[in-house]
Amino acid sequence: MNRFQKWLFLGSIFVLTLGCQRDDICPEGTETTPLLVIEFYDPLDPTRLKAVPNLTVRASGKEEVLLGPETVNTVSIPLRTNENFTEYIFTTNSNSDEENEDIVSFTYSPDPEYLNRACGYKINYNSLDVAVNADEDNWIISETIIQESVENETEAHIYFTH
């Protein structure tokens, strides 16, 4: 590499370094659009978490499974940011003879919050409501909204008993 090529190389690196600014990179740990947190409880002892056996969750009208099958007592799922509702199918005992599906509808008001130029927006959700579509064999017995605003993922927003 001759002297001219070295200076050209170093000059290019210098120009590229000046082109990037600190505010062009979204810092790690910046809050993003939160997931909806749902906990499952025992109806006989409403203070005790109760795992759902082989739970799967998928968006209504989609074949792709978002979660599962797994035995869990808490799930975190995304809500649609460009609509005021999201509908999921929660299936217990997936892939067995005792499989049971419940369709659950979530309604809310999306509330965009500007973070900064690098991170853009995050969507919070206000006026959260939930409804389990009634059928002849619902496995979700009841639903309780704990927080009507979804602004973080640190605590549950909804409790289901089953």
Average pLDDT score, the chain: 89
Confidence of residue 17 (pLDDT cuts 50, 70, 90): low
CA distance 95 to 97: 7
Q: Report pLDDT for 65.
A: 95
Cβ contact 120:93 at 8 Å: no
Among candidates 151, 155, 125, which has minimal Cα distance to 31? 151
pTM for the model: 0.83
Q: What is the pLDDT of residues 35-55, one digit of tens each?
A: 999 999 999 999 999 999 999
Q: What is the pLDDT of residues 113-129, one digit of tens each?
A: 999 888 999 999 999 99
CA 79 from centre of chain: 6
CA distance 155 to 135: 30
CA distance 146 to 81: 21
Confidence of residue 3 (pLDDT cuts 50, 70, 90): low
Whether the predicted pLDDT of 104 surpasses 60: yes
Q: Report pLDDT for 9.
A: 57
Confidence of residue 10 (pLDDT cuts 50, 70, 90): low
